[in-house]
Every structure is written in C-alpha cells, then in structure tokens.
Structure 1
C-alpha cells in the first residue's frame, strides 16, 4: 500500500501509526526505511538494507545480528542481501518519502514483493509507486473539525491558554485557507506566540513568508511551508512545471478542456527556469544570466498526461464534477499561491491570463443559447461549475480595460443572472463594463438601426452598429436593476438618460425582441409613456412571429399576459397569451420559461378572482423551478400560492406557506421575501394581529434600506396607513395615506398595480371620517374619486374590499345616508389631487 498526498499531509506520521497498529500481526517486526536523505536512486537498496540493520530504526522486531552475517556473505549486492533476509520472514517494511527516488523505490518494492511472500510494504510518497498489486490510499487534508482540533492543540502548546473558541471565525479561516494540511496548521500555530488568530488569517496571502517557524528537529524541507512545496517543485520536469504554474490562473478549478486551452501552447519563459537542473536534463545548456526569456511550449495534446502526472504527484486534486461525467482539477490554495509566484517569475502571467479570459469568454458565449431549451439544466450546471472562473475572467477584463471582452462576457451571462436571480452581479458587472467605453445614450443620440444578429453570435471584436448595440446592452442590463438603487434613477441626469433610451428604439425592432434590448420597456414605463406600452408589446409579439423568433415570442407573450392581467382596462386576453407561451416553452424544453408562463396564467386567474385555478397554476410551476434549482423563483411562486390560497378560503395552509418563505429566505436579496411579508401583513392585519403585522412591516422597511426594492415602497406605506386605521391612529394614518397615494400615482405603480391609487384613497377616507366627523363629506368625495380610479373589471381582494367597506361605514355613520349620497355624488369628476387637497391633507 502507498500513502499518497501533498507535502505536509501527515503521510509519515500515519505510516508510523499504522505500523504500530499491526505490529502484533507481523512477528518479524515493523521496519522503517527513511529515503528522504538518499540523493542517488542507485543507493536506495543500500539505504533500506542499512535501515534494516540499524537498531535505532527498528520500530518493532528482532535485532540485526543475522543481517550482519548475511551482509558478509553477499556484500557485493544489497538487493540480493535484502531478498535473502526478507524472504523467510513475515514483516512490514515502511518506505518513507519515496517521491524523489520513485523509480528506484518501485523497482525495489516490486522485486522484494515478488521474492518475499511474507513481506508487506507500506510506502509514503507524493505519487504512487506504480507496482503490480499496489493499493493507493490518498491521505486527504484534515476535515475542518479535526483541523480545528489540531490548531487548538498546537496553539495551546505555543501559547498556554489559547482556545479556538476565542475567535472561531479566524480559526476556521486559518484551517480552511491552509487546506487542512497538518504541517501548515502546525506552522501557523507556532506563530500564535506573537500573533492573534485574526492577524495570522489576515496575513495568509503571504503565507510563505509567514509560516517559517517549523521544529528544528524535523527534516529541512519540513521546517517552512515554502520548503515543503519547493521539494515537490524540484521533482518536476519543465513541462510539468509549466502546466502547474499556468493552472494557478484558474479560480475554483477547471475541466480538461479548459486546462488544455490555458496550459497548452507557448508562453514567454523567464528566469524561473533559467539554468535549472531540469533544463540540463533535457539536454539544454543553462541560459546565460540576463538573456531574453525563452519560449516554453507545451503541446496541448500532452496536457492530459501532464495533468495526470501532477495528480499522481499530489500537486493537483482531481475529483468528479458535481454534475456531468467529467473530472475537475484544482490546486490547494497553498500550491496555487506557490504556482502563481512561479508564473510571475517565468514571465507567463499575461499570456496565461489572456488564454484563460479567451477560453471562458467563449465558454459563456456558446453556453448562453443553451439556457433557452432542452439543454437548460446542463447549461445552468455548467455556468455554476465555472462561475468563479467567469467572475475572474470578468475581473481581468475590467482591470485590463478590455471593453470588447467585458461586453461579450456580460451579455453572455445576463440571462444566467436573470434565471438565478443574482441581480447584484448583473448590476455591478454591467456598471463596471459600462465604464470601459463611451455612453451610447449620451447626446447626440442616433436612433438604433434594425439588427438581426445578436451581439454574442460571433466572438469579439465587434464594430459598427453591433458594437454600439453591445454598449447599449450593458446600459439596459443596468436599467433592469434600477429598483436596487432607486435614488440613482431619480436625478435630472437619470431622467435625461431614460428619455434617451426611450427615443433610441422604436417598437418592432428585432433587437427589442430579446434581452437586453427588451429591457427598453422599463425606460418607456419610467418616462410616463404608459399609453405606449400596449403598442410596444403588441409590435414585439408581431415582430417575433414575423421573424420566426419562437423562444422570444414566448417571452413577449408572457410579458403581455402580465400587463393585461394588471390592466383590466385594456382589451386582450391574458390567459390566452399565457397559454400560448406555456405551449412554446413546454415544446422547447425551457423549464424556467414554463414556470414563468404558468405563473403568468396564475396571475391572470388571480386578477379575475379565480383563486383556485390560480393556485393550481402556481403549484404546477414550482416543480419546474425546483428542477433548475431556481430557489428565488420557487420562493416567489410559493408566496404567490400562499396568497391565493388565503383568498380562496384556505387561510391556514396559505399562512403556513407564507411563513415558510419568510423563514427560508431570511435576508436573501430577491423579490420573494418582500412579497411574502406584504401578504403576511395583509393577513395578520385582517385577523386582528396588528402587532405581528407591524413587526413584519418593520422588517420590510429595514430590507428596503439595504436592498432598495423601490417597486414595493408604495405597498409598504399604504400598509402602514391601513394598520394605523385598524389601531385607531387616524391622524397618523392620514399622513401615511397621503404619501401612499402619491406613490401609487407614479407610472411604475400604475403599471404594476393600478388599483392601488383607489385602495389608498379608501384608506385616507376611512381615517379622515374616523378622525374628524366634520370632514366626513370630504371622505365620501374621496371614495367617489377612488371608485372612479378602479380599473374596469378589477376584482378586489379581501383586504381591498374591507378597506372600502370600512371607509363607507365610517362616512355614513357620520353623515347619514342622504348626506353621504350627496357628498359622494359631489366627488364625481374630481381628480385625486383635487379631492386630497379639498380634504386638507
């Protein structure tokens, strides 16, 4: 058996413990042959023979007298003497530290095992010996609980009284960043004599300078962390070194295709390999000092074998990918930092990072279309597996101010970000890439020309109108995240930009059929052009049909279904559009789109008051979202399901679902949490639990401060006013209701929830009539204006019905039926601004 693992993993200690554990089963002893001091492979048999004849190396077993007799008989051949000695015995031979004499150790082990039936060999090495019958047992780094225990034990020895519990986060970070390697943890523990755990953790970016306090009695190559890795590096040939150092540009590991693309080929060589022994082994003379770097070429076809060799040498970790049938390769953090230093010394960083950027830009570009059909699940898994590499590629493109690469990456990742609801990433990366080029919406703004190709259909560089459209695209992605930073879009400059975006496009352009061009919709909405939205979306649907854009047609139909569900005053059938979108997405195998189409149809049923049918659709959508691991989408669908179940009369089950969303999401940044809290506020208030309702509303307000879900702000203020009326705080309710009315009149609110203006006017009317009976006539007029602002065909939910009924009761109680009717009639024809002003609020 061979114990393999990286330097400092504890192979030697484990071999000794194993030898002690089986000592009683091997009557002729357990013997240790330390090969680390052996420089010449030809000396391995002699070193083993010496170990077997030296009393101090005997762990268990008989003395060495007969060995000396054997040595006298066969003094000319140590292998023969070893065979003669071991042949009749049952013994365990431990060959420790074989990696630098691996071939000689393998020949010795194979020969002795074939000739000595009672012999067992336990070897430690950074790579397998490769002999028949060998069992390879990797010695993995310590899992966190054991790594923490080792740090605690060694730390207490270095600084009495030390406990990892005093700073558990720093202790865990030390163990994690040192990859659980026992030697590295022990070296870090030695530093506790002068540094705190947090100081050590913060300095691990320079770990080779920090961890230099090993025990004086251990081998020199184990006294510092650098020496441990130097030992492995010195055993590599030129090609292996080139592959290892180039692997350091990856983040989160890579698959074989990426390794071949990045580690193969030619990069500028530098002083790291100049005059080294491996160069001389290859027959090359040392490079003169000061000579220009030589080229280091690695044939990409050789990369798999070289990678396999590095895995065998315990410098690269190989493990099956979480999804799919491929292996992934990664470096331990310590090895990665060392390899990165060597990459810089070799002068290869720029070339390796450029190869990495190119590979993952192309990976994103060709994988993105797979998100729109039967390959969706595999594409999402692929994006997730490589996400750290993609982020690293983006970071390098931005740092290099490479606009073309940044544009391609952001545009290729935009839909993945949408599906995964990682809008913070979309906002931040689009902002960073926007800054690399000119603002395409700066005056003078030229109207966009029709484009029938996407900006990511071909690799960069782009030019002409495609480049201009790519620049517009990242600005539109930023626009789609506007609710996360609402203040930034409420300045005069932002207003000018929204107007420029609105005027750049026109309905029916091909590029407005797919994202990010379709986000033009938000600019039209935010500039108050609500009346144009119906024409815009109708033209988009027509253009998709005309151009045969099937997947895009499904998205346009979903969007129109959502609009029609909310705007019951507009002609059209939301359920019909949702049905067609559902059929397309199901046919294409787009699980995310199928869930969205079911949600759109469920919302249409909900707006018509068909709550059971809505619940069926929301329930049916959840498995599709779960299939993709789209947690944010699952949570939002669950919140919608809980809300319609409450309206359908199944309040107990509906409330349980809403609480589940709140508890499962905590403070995650997605739309499900505020939606669930708002639904809960409504239910809790209606069932007399106003204190709990206010607690949820307070949490919602805190989340708005952090996350800025501006689209919900009007809901929150209106809910505050409503709870004030329930608790009898009518004067306070009037102030909140006035604010809610103003927010409900904004274009976005009118698009999303046009009934809210009427609802908040009703809350104001109730508060006014209850606060001051002398103003009850004003309350009645407010109700008339509120009723006039209800969209035709709107079916109010329970809370809306209760608000309207309570307001009318309060006004009638103060005025009487006749005066109420007269005051109500006087409100006919007033604008909401006039009615609010007349009420004195």
Structure 2
C-alpha cells in the first residue's frame, strides 16, 4: 500500500499515514453501504481497550512504553471517546475518560481533562457508581483550574454537588485505581478535608504499593502546607521507596523535590542538589513533567543555587525557567519566575532591575484568581517589602507585607506565609524592635515547621538579633515564636499587628 501511495510511512516506526482525500473517499463509501457506524464502533472499542490495557502500565516498570503508546494513539483515543459520547454510551464514555485521566494529570493536560470528563459525564443515563462519582469529583478540580471565570452561583452549585459526592464516596467499600487518590486530593483542595483524609488514610495503609506511595505523597504535601514537617518526613521517604519498588519514574521525580526541600532545611545542600538532579533525570526519561510542575522545580533550583552562592547557575536556571513559564500559558508562572529573579537581584544590589521584575509580575497577576496566583502574589509582595527595606522605605515595606499577608491567607499554605514572617521580622528590626524581630523569626520557623539555617536573610537577621539582644535574650524571644501553635503563629505574623504595636510604642504627635 505504501508502494501504491495509498499509505505513507510516518516518522514513528510501524506507523502509517493516509492522505486526507483517500480517508474521505473511504468514509463516503462506508456511509453509502451503511457500515460507517459499525466501523466507528469497532474502532472506538479497539482504542478503548488499548487505553484500558496501557493505563495501569503508566504506574509501573512499563511506564515508558505506555507513555509512547498513549501519546501515539492519543488523537485516536479522543475520537473513540467522542464516539462513545455521541452514541449515548455513558458507562463506556466514563470508563474511557478515567483511563485517560492519569495520563492527563501526569503531563498537565488539565484543559483536556476538564473538557472530556465533562463530556462523558454529560451523556444521559449514567447511574451513580464509584467510577462515575470519582470522575465527577476529579472534573471539578480541573474545572477550577481552567474556568476561573465561573459565577458565584456556579461555585455554590459545585460546592453542593461536592458535599453530596463526598458522602457517597465514603460509603463505597473501595474506590477504583488511582482515581480514589485523585478524588481525595480534589476534596482537600475544595475544603472537604474530613472525607479527603479518610480516603488517603485507607489507601496509605493498603496492600497496593503504588497506591500507598501516591497516598503518602499526597499526605506529605498536606503536612508540608500545614507546616508539620515531622509528619511529612516519614511519608516522603516511604512514598519514594514505594515508587521505586513499583518502578514509577514519575512518582520518584515528583517526590524527590520534596525530599530536597527537607534536606535544604537540614543544612544538607549537597543532598538537596543530588535529589533535584535525579528528579530532572527521571523526568527526562518519560518526557518531562507538567510544565507547571517543571517551573516549581526550577524555583527549587533557583532557591538552592542562591543558598549555595552559585550565581552563574542561578542565572542559567532563571533563564530556562522563564522560557518554560512562558510556554505554560498561565500568567502566574512568569510572575513566579520574575519574583525569584527579583530576590536574586535584591541580593546582588541591582534594585532597579528588581523593581522592574516585580512591576512586570504584578501586571501579569492582575485579575488572576487561579492556582498558584495567590502564591505568586504573596511572593511578589514579600520581595517588594525586601526591596523597600533596602531603600529605607519602611512605609512601603509595611504596605507590601500587608498585601502579601492578605494573599497568603487564601492559599492556606503556611510555608509560604513564613516568607512574609521573615520580612516582617526584617521590618521590625528596621524599626529597632529586636525582640519582636526574634519572635517573628521563631514564628516563621513554626509556620514552615523547621528552622531554616541555610537562608541568607534568616542567617543575617539571626546574627544581628543575637548581637543586639545577647544570646540568651535572643534565644528566649525566638523560642517564644517557635513554641506557638500554627493558628496563633498565623495571627502573630500579621503585619497589621506589628503596625499597631509600633504605633502604640510611638504614637503620632497631635
């Protein structure tokens, strides 16, 4: 057929292409004989079976081969999914959509996930099942990520649906495959924590090694957000061991940056660097992570190079991170990279360039409400405060910190809040309030769940605080902040609280 030009060899071995005119001719002939629907049903069945066969292999030693097959047949799989939707096959449509869901989430295809899960769930006649309810919950998280303009009424409707779904999910004895874990992640994001943690606990203690690794990874992420690193540490190690045992490169590449963060806090910068290198090598084997995840790993690299004093390497990563961030097609990603370069420029004393970067970041974030917009706004505000402190603009620093604090409360991410707390400590020091600065440094450590001995700003504030207060008084003030519970620490580091204390100590003259 190739010799007769009916087919053409494709670049991928063993694959062929057909001229569009020949495809249309064949389609017309099948339609004339009444066989077009039958052929399309057969093709849909074949590709649905193919996805069902290769989807589980994405989570084991056959991962690389499975990625190649699904990537090569992706358009055919979507055509099969469209056929199942068009013919009213509700169970078949949901089953095929679920068999593509892990691929979508591995590679950050959230718009595809949102659209096709929605299409499959819209097919009439689908009765509640564990599979269908999981698909529904997962579709909501993708909708949140890709449809930021939803109305208040729609958001309320989603919340009501979520409550009903959460009750049903807890009633099922088992949830299917990895989708139960994805469902738990979604429920936690939408503040249905009780149901989410119940599902995670069940999966973490189960017999499936890969599912246990995934559940522990999610649990470690929740613990990190809550600043509970003592709970995070064992889950990170166990998750990594589970993914290695299962042969899942994606899982290892996702967990290793989490361990690198812990090693960074433990003053093991060489170990952190080794983990990031291994993560990038593994990701390269299966075709890289979701672009957003890649940018977050770049942020880890930038921070690590800054801590190590590797200026040239930090610049190189910033440049590659910006290129990836622009390809991610979301305004918050370039804003994150600009903010981290601004951190770098402030430390170099290049304040004009830092100001330009922060201005660009703020313009890119106007009106953005999607994740990680509030994280980016927090970082931008915190770095803006640092810039103002360098120029002696204490009022500007105060204003920037209050904006950053307001943004971070939306994230419910305590380690991000610790960045605001450190700059609040710097502001207190600039006002000569060394005791309050030390308390805020301790509170920052409580929020992140660890002392941070490799961050240059923390080290310098600590050194100056000890010189001003003496070792014992500094340790007592720092310990006061460190001993706070998480909720109290959140209130303690509110920049408005510091402003009130400063005005009480130095009231404005009438």
Same fold flag (TM > 0.5): yes
Which is further off, 494-503 or 621-630? 494-503
Give 1:431's aligned residue.
Answer: 118
Give 2:4's aligned residue.
Answer: 313
CA distance in 1 between counterparts of 2:200 and 2:464 reads: 38
> What's the CA shift string for 1:647-678, capped at 9, x where partnerless?
12323223322322223553324897665444
> 2:347 aligned to 686, 700, 720, which one?
686
- 1:432–1:701 distance in 2 versus 1, CA, 3 Å: farther
CA distance in 1 between counterparts of 2:196 and 2:266 reads: 22
> 2:35 aligned to 330, 348, 358, which one?
348
1:558 aligns with 2:217: yes
Give 1:369's aligned residue.
Answer: 56
How far apart are 1:709 and its partner, in Å?
4.4
- 1:505–1:721 distance in 2 versus 1, CA, 3 Å: same
- 1:764–1:591 distance in 2 versus 1, CA, 3 Å: closer
Q: Is the 8 A contact 2:236 2:259 kept in 1?
A: yes
SS of match in other structure, 2:16: strand
SS of match in other structure, 2:15: strand
SS of match in other structure, 2:309: coil
How far apart are 1:516 and its partner, in Å?
4.5
- Structure whose CA Rg is larger: 1
- 1:497–1:572 distance in 2 versus 1, CA, 3 Å: same
Give 1:788's aligned residue.
Answer: 443
- 1:485–1:787 distance in 2 versus 1, CA, 3 Å: farther
Q: Is the 8 A contact 1:512 1:518 kept in 2?
A: no
CA distance in 1 between counterparts of 2:267 and 2:165 reads: 37
Give 2:21's aligned residue.
Answer: 334
How far apart are 1:538 and its partner, in Å?
4.1
TM-score after normalising by structure 2: 0.77
What residue ranges of structure 2 are gaps of 5+ in the alignment? 504-510
Q: Is the 8 A contact 2:217 2:239 kept in 1?
A: yes
CA distance in 2 between counterparts of 1:558 and 1:521 reads: 11
1:652 aligns with 2:315: no
- 1:382–1:616 distance in 2 versus 1, CA, 3 Å: same
Q: Is the 8 A contact 2:55 2:100 kept in 1?
A: yes
TM-score after normalising by structure 1: 0.49
- The structure whose residues are more often strand, as a share, is 1
> What's the CA shift string for 1:450-499, capped at 9, x where partnerless?
xxxxxxxxxxxxx86xx522222222222343344455497433443444
How far apart are 1:412 and its partner, in Å?
0.3
Give 1:396's aligned residue.
Answer: 83
How far apart are 1:628 and its partner, in Å?
0.9
Give 2:412's aligned residue.
Answer: 749
Higher relative contact order (CA 8 A, sep 6+): 2
SS of match in other structure, 1:710: coil
CA distance in 2 between counterparts of 1:645 and 1:717 reads: 21
SS of match in other structure, 1:527: coil
Give 1:384's aligned residue.
Answer: 71
- TM-align CA RMSD: 4.2
Give 2:384's aligned residue.
Answer: 723
What residue ranges of structure 1 are gaps of 5+ in the alignment? 1-307, 439-462
How far apart are 1:602 and its partner, in Å?
1.9
Give 2:270's aligned residue.
Answer: 612
CA distance in 2 between counterparts of 1:627 and 1:420 reads: 13
- 1:331–1:703 distance in 2 versus 1, CA, 3 Å: farther
How far apart are 1:534 and its partner, in Å?
6.7
- 1:380–1:834 distance in 2 versus 1, CA, 3 Å: closer
Query: How many residue pairs end up in the alignment?
Result: 476
Give 1:458's aligned residue.
Answer: none
Give 2:301's aligned residue.
Answer: 641
Give 1:801's aligned residue.
Answer: 458
Map residues 388-787 of structure 1 onto 2, 5 A cutoff: 388-437=75-124, 467-481=128-142, 482-486=144-148, 488=150, 491-506=155-170, 510-511=174-175, 514-527=178-191, 529=193, 537-542=200-205, 544=206, 548-565=207-224, 567-569=226-228, 571-572=230-231, 574=233, 576-630=234-288, 632=291, 636-669=296-329, 676-698=337-359, 700-701=361-362, 709-727=370-388, 728=391, 730-746=394-410, 748-750=411-413, 754-763=414-423, 784=439, 787=442
How far apart are 1:805 and its partner, in Å?
6.5
